[in-house]
A and B are shown apart, each in its own frame.
Chain A
Amino acid sequence: MSDQYSNEPLMEMFLFETSQLLEQLEQNILSSEKESGFSEDSINEIFRIMHTIKGSSAMMLFDNIAKLAHSIEDLFFFIRKEKPEQIDLTVLSDLVLEGVDFIKTEVEKIKGSSPADGNAENLVVTIKNLLTELKRMNAAPAAAFTPIPSGDYAYKALIHFEEGCEMENIRAYTIIHNLKELSKEIYYIPEDIIDSDESINVIRKNGFQIYLKTDRDYRKMHEFFMQTIFLKDMELLQLEDTEFAQYNKPEITPEENLTKLSIGKEVSQVEKPVRTDQLEKEPTTTNTTQSIISVGVVKLDKLMDLVGEMVIAEAMVIQNPDLKGLQLSNFTKAANQLNKITSEIQDIVMSIRMVPLSATFIKMHRIVRDMCKKLDKDVHLEIIGEETEVDKNIIEHISDPLMHLVRNSVDHGIENTQERLEKGKSKSGTITLEAKNAGSDVLIIVRDDGKGLNKEKILKKARENNLLFKNEEDMTDKEIYNLILLPGFSTKEKVTEFSGRGVGMDVVTKNIEAVGGTLSVDSVAEKGTVITLKIPLTLAIIDGMNIKVGKSRYTIPTISIKESFRPKETEIIYDPDGNEMIMVRGECYAIRRLHELYKLKTNITKFSEGIIIMVEQDEKTVCVFADELLGQQQVVVKALPHYIQSFKRIRGLAGCTLLGDGSISLILDVARMFNR
């Protein structure tokens, strides 16, 4: 269509819709493949999706997508109509998936505002060939139904309008009026649509029946009818000429032994974006779209920022230095009220941004399928807890690493069928993807029942690459396994298409750490490998304990603080290197003096004057020595400026935050305090 349609919101809509449809399509094909056959429903759905994509991409002037979608649509139109029995299922699904991939890359290109210039010619040709092949193979049954191109077709259409759309008779008349241009003979019930008001009730009750003769084929006619405004339901039947004659004075609908294709409402669901609003009112489709609106992530981010600012502003007011030492009971009461409301708003805003992991998890099906094919393995993917919700930002960061992990599991972990049988394992391997909440973290576990990690190989490799940080004999199994997370480590001798470039685990670790998560590996030889990702629910606002060292202020996430205390000088133990340790309830912990670590000037260097904060992360505990505690506060995590970050990564700083008085506090990254 014309250029004026290619404006921004429409484009956004197109991208959003198309990617959703593609995902749906992919799932559909995968599940069909699992059931080793396309059900009628899924064929209908694939047809519908392709039809929609064709329409909308043609509208947005992406001809290459439209062409491809059109060819797939043709293919499925044929399958739907003729129900051919001799279909090579894998070829078909491979083709469609290839098509999906093509459209996906194009959509990505469009998103990155580069021209969608991919060429799908080859694919289109392949699909067309398959269609011809199918037609040839199923020629016998097809001949009975495939109408001769130039002939006249007779149709019967039964149309129901939306309830409460009013003026049904006028609408019916519009259809007839439009039809007159297309068809040679038209009859309809009720006949007196314009003259009699009674016809409205008839149409409401029985629907509007049209019998017509035209040279358009079924699809064109179907398209024509689907464009009707306020259409709720439409049934289009193709009739034999003889039957048509009999309908010249139509009575009741007889049982058709024809190509009966009832197109329910859902068929028209996304056909034209403009119609969706009416469709949602339809009671037969019990989807919940009605109560859901989609909002741009940018807006949500903005809202999030504003809430963050509000939290700071609130702290600025309530902890205002001017109020110090004043007795203000009313003020305190009001402040508490305000505090309650802001924290509630915060929770809501957070929950808005929470997205279930299911979409990310389900994507893995496709990866597993493709890889099984290529590698000739039999792997079953099991998904548990996909409803677990995580902040949208975080999901974006973990989707790639997760893909890597699943690939690794299929490629390195699971043995091929023969090997499995020899080992007495079940024929097909299982990869379990599990998500669950654990406090303020989410655990994502990738488990496979493959051959497990080979300790010897890992150690050998680590030795070769100089990755060992302590004596081999002293290392626990877990420590050995975790060596594979180090940069430049890959035990796979052969580089395959999917993994083994030695960047995999390294990148995974980096990505997970970027969102403040951690990764751990465990494995039992011949039993399998378990990789656990621990990621925070959200990044933006945390509970923090503010501490002071000299003039500087730092914030420690409250979640990692175990306790704080002031030790006696006598409780401190010194080792020969001068390292300080402390004994607490029978356990010995190392002490880190913040002022030494960060070379800060402070007058408080004696343990008896300052305070020790015991922090724990990943089952490791350390005692941090600071001047004093300033108090607990919710803080909004802000990243350090890029310029600062571009100097080497600063040890032990996760970001910064604004305190109530407008000054900046640095947030300590507890996990990094251990590795010095």
Chain B
Amino acid sequence: MAEIYNSLELEEDTQKDRYLTFVIGNECYGFEIKHVTEIIGIQAITEIPELPEYVKGIINLRGKIIPVMDVRLRFKQNPIEYNDRTCVIVVDVKEISIGFIVDRVAEVLSIPEADIVAPPQIHKGTGNKYIRKIGKVGNEVKLLLDCDMLLAEQEAVELSEVI
């Protein structure tokens, strides 16, 4: 019994404090690994009219149709051409499957809780609210994203569109 319990804990442990990091522009961001289901190369995207710019459309993931969001555009940065390093990170949040388009995927990192700090309390621009925590790895800084916020904020967008 105790063994089973331990192994369960172990499995939890392998995902704990681990982050998939990716690059957009000059910055390095991270998702909690437990949300990530897979990483795929960029593929044909079917555009859907009348959606915000950052929602690029839908893709066919082995028969499952999922929406894709360009994180670069989400952060209101300038779009770049997709190339062979462009990746789609497929994430499951709150039973929604969604793909995030990023410039390139970096690596999976372990960032112990001790090295994670809250973001500074300066609210300028839009990007800040998506960043939940900041992780320190050596001299570098990884911006850890909040998947929920990336998705949830759309209600505000909708509202502003109505007005």
Binding site for B on A (CB under 8 A): 309, 312, 552-553, 597-600, 638, 640-644, 646-648, 650-651, 653, 656, 658, 662-666
> CB distance A664 to B158 under 8 Å?
no
Asked if B156 is an interface residue, CB under 8 A from chain A, the answer is no
1/0 contact trace for B84-117 toward A, CB 8 Å?
A: 0000000000001110000000000000000000
**Cβ contact within 8 Å between A641 and B46:** no
Whether A663 contacts B49 by the Cβ 8 Å rule is no
> B residues within 8 Å of A by Cβ?
44, 46-52, 55, 58-60, 63, 65-67, 96-98, 151, 154, 158, 161-162
**B121: min CB distance to chain A, Å:** 30
C-alpha spacing A599/B50, complex, angstroms? 9
**B46–A664 CB distance below 8 A:** yes
Residues of B within 8 A of A640 (CB): 48, 58, 65
Q: What residues of chain A lie closer than 8 Å to B158, measured between beta carbons? A: 647-648
Q: Kindly report which residue of chain A lies nearest to residue B58, judged by CB atoms.
A: A664
User: When the two chains form their complex, are residues B60 and A663 in contact, meaning their CB atoms are under 8 A apart?
Assistant: yes
Using CB atoms, name the residue of chain A closest to B155: A646
Task: Provide the bound-state CA to CA distance between A129 and B27, in Å.
Answer: 79
**In the complex, A436→B151 CA distance in Å?**
45
B98 partner residues in chain A, CB cutoff 8 A? 641, 643
Contact B60 A653 (CB under 8 A): no
Known pairs A641-B96, A648-B161, A662-B60; A552 contacts B55 (CB<8 A): no
Given A641-B66, A641-B96, A641-B97, does the pair A647, B59 have CB atoms closer than 8 Å? no
Q: Are B63 and A309 in contact (CB under 8 A)?
A: yes
Assess the A552–B67 pair: CB atoms within 8 A: no
Extra A-B contacts (12), CB below 8 Å, given A552-B46, A643-B67, A647-B55: A597-B49, A640-B58, A641-B67, A641-B96, A642-B96, A643-B55, A644-B55, A644-B58, A647-B154, A656-B46, A664-B46, A664-B58
Per the bound structure, the CA–CA distance linking A644 and B98 in Å amounts to 10
Min C-beta distance of A664 to chain B, whole Å: 4
Supposing A643-B67, A658-B63 touch, asked if A651 and B55 sit within 8 A by C-beta, the answer is: no
Query: Chain B's nearest CB lies how many Å from the CB of A443?
Result: 32
Chain B residues, CB < 8 A from A552: 46-47
Could you tell me the distance between the alpha carbons of A128 and B84 in the complex, rounded to whole angstroms? Answer: 79
Q: How far is the CA of A656 from the CA of B64 in the complex (A)?
A: 11
Asked if A664 meets B154 with Cβ closer than 8 Å, knowing A599-B49, A650-B50, A658-B60, the reply is no
Residue among A600, A643, A658, A662 making CB contact with B151, cutoff 8 Å: A643
Closest to B97 in A: A641
Report the Cα distance A666→B65, complex, angstroms: 12
- Smallest CB–CB gap between A554 and chain B, Å? 10
Q: Which residues from chain A contact B65 at a C-beta distance below 8 Å?
A: 638, 640-641, 656, 658, 664
Q: Which residues of B contact A662 (CB under 8 A)?
A: 60
Nearest-neighbour CB distance to chain B for A368, whole angstroms, equals 41
- CB-defined contacts of A312 to chain B, threshold 8 Å: 63
Give Cα A312–Cα B58 distance, bound, in whole angstroms: 18
In the assembly, what is the distance between CA of A642 and CA of B158, in Å?
A: 15
| Residue in chain A with minimal CB distance to B51 | A647
Q: Which residues of A contact B52 (CB under 8 A)?
A: 647
Listed residue (B46, B51, B151) with the most chain A CB atoms within 10 angstroms of its CB: B46
B47: A residues at CB distance < 8 A: 552, 600
Chain B residues in 8 Å Cβ range of A666:
46, 48
Residue contact A653 to B154, C-beta cutoff 8 Å: no
The answer to whether A643 touches B96 (Cβ under 8 A) is yes
Q: How far is the CA of A419 from the CA of B66 in the complex (A)?
A: 59
- Give me the 10 closest cross-chain CB pairs, A-B, nearest first: A598-B49, A664-B46, A641-B67, A643-B67, A644-B67, A643-B96, A664-B60, A650-B50, A638-B65, A663-B44
Alpha-carbon distance A644/B162, docked complex (angstroms) = 17
List, in ascending order, chain A residues with CB within 8 A of B161's CB.
648
Query: Inside 8 A of B55's CB, which chain A residues have their CB?
Result: 643-644, 647
Please report the C-alpha to C-alpha distance between residue A303 and residue B49 in the assembled complex, in whole angstroms: 32
C-alpha spacing A648/B48, complex, angstroms:
12
Min CB distance A556 to B, Å, is: 16
* Identity of the chain B residue whose Cβ is nearest the Cβ of A665 in the assembled complex: B46
Q: How far is the CB of B141 from chain A (nearest CB, A)?
A: 30
Knowing A663-B60, A664-B58, A664-B65 touch, does A644 contact B48 (C-beta < 8 A)? yes
**A641 nearest CB neighbor, chain B only:** B67
Q: Is the CB of B58 within 8 A of A641?
A: yes
Which single member of A553, A638, A650 contacts B51 (CB below 8 Å)? A650
Q: Which of B48, B59, B66, B162 contacts A650 (CB 8 A)?
A: B48
Question: Are B58 and A656 touching (Cβ within 8 A)?
Answer: yes
- B60 engages A644 (CB within 8 Å): no
Quote the shortest CB–CB distance from B116 to chain A (angstroms). 28
**Residues from chain B with Cβ under 8 Å of A665 in the complex:** 46
Q: Which of A552, A643, A646, A651 has the most CB of B within 10 A?
A: A643
Nearest CB of chain B from residue A640's CB, rounded to whole Å: 7
**How many Å from the CB of B62 to the closest CB on chain A?**
9
Contact at B59–A644, with CB atoms within 8 Å? Answer: no
Complex: A601 Cα to B46 Cα, angstroms: 14
CB-CB under 8 A from B154, the residues of chain A are 646-647
Q: What are 13 contact pairs spanning A and B, CB under 8 A?
A: A552-B46, A598-B49, A599-B49, A600-B47, A640-B65, A641-B67, A641-B96, A643-B55, A647-B51, A647-B55, A648-B162, A650-B48, A664-B59
What separation, in Å, do the CA atoms of A663 and B47 have in the docked complex? 11
Whether A663 contacts B46 in the complex (CB less than 8 A), given A641-B96, A647-B51, comes out as yes
Q: Chain B contacts of A650 at CB under 8 A?
A: 48-51
Give Cα A152 to B6, complex, Å: 66
In the docked arrangement, what's the CA distance between A597 and B161, Å? 18
- A309 CA to B64 CA in the complex, in Å? 11
Contacts of B66 in A (CB 8 A): 641
- Distance in angstroms from B30 CB to nearest chain A CB is 22
Q: How many Å lie between the Cα of A638 and that of B58 in the bound state?
A: 12
Q: Quick one: which of B48, B51, B154, B158 has the most chain A CB within 10 A?
A: B48
Residue in A closest to B49 when the chains form the complex, CB atoms: A598
Instruction: Tell me which residues across on chain A come within 8 A of B44, comparing CB atoms.
Output: 663
In whole angstroms, how far apart are the Cα atoms of A641 and B67 in the complex?
7
Provide the residues of chain B in CB contact with A647, threshold 8 Å: 50-52, 55, 154, 158
CB neighbours (8 Å) of B60 from chain A are 658, 662-664
A597 to B49, CA, bound (A): 9
A662 to B, closest residue via Cβ: B60
CB neighbours (8 Å) of B51 from chain A are 644, 647, 650
Within the complex, the shortest CB–CB distance from A669 to chain B, in Å, comes to 13
Nearest Cβ in chain B — how far from A21, in angstroms? 36
Q: Cα distance A640–B58 when bound, in Å?
A: 8
A63 to chain B, nearest CB (A): 34
Closest residue to A643 on the B side, CB-wise?
Answer: B67
Residue among B58, B59, B96, B154 with max Cβ neighbours from chain A (10 Å): B58
CA gap between A644 and B48 in the complex, in Å: 9
Expressed in whole angstroms, the Cα–Cα distance for A662 and B51 within the complex equals: 23
Chain B positions within 8 Å of A638 at CB level: 65
How far is it, in angstroms, between the C-alpha of A653 and the C-alpha of B49 when the chains are bound? Answer: 9
Say how far B92's CB is from chain A's closest CB, in angstroms: 12
Q: Which residue of B lies closest to A552 (CB)?
A: B47
Q: Tell me which residues across on chain A come within 8 A of B97, comparing CB atoms.
A: 641
Look across to chain B and name the residue whose beta carbon is closest to the beta carbon of A639: B65
Bound-complex Cα distance A664 to B55 (A): 16
Looking across the interface, which residue of chain A has its beta carbon closest to that of B161? Answer: A648
Q: Cα distance A642–B93 when bound, in Å?
A: 12
Q: Which residues of A contact B46 (CB under 8 A)?
A: 552-553, 656, 663-666
Q: In the assembled complex, which residues on chain A have CB atoms less than 8 Å from the CB atom of B96?
A: 641-643
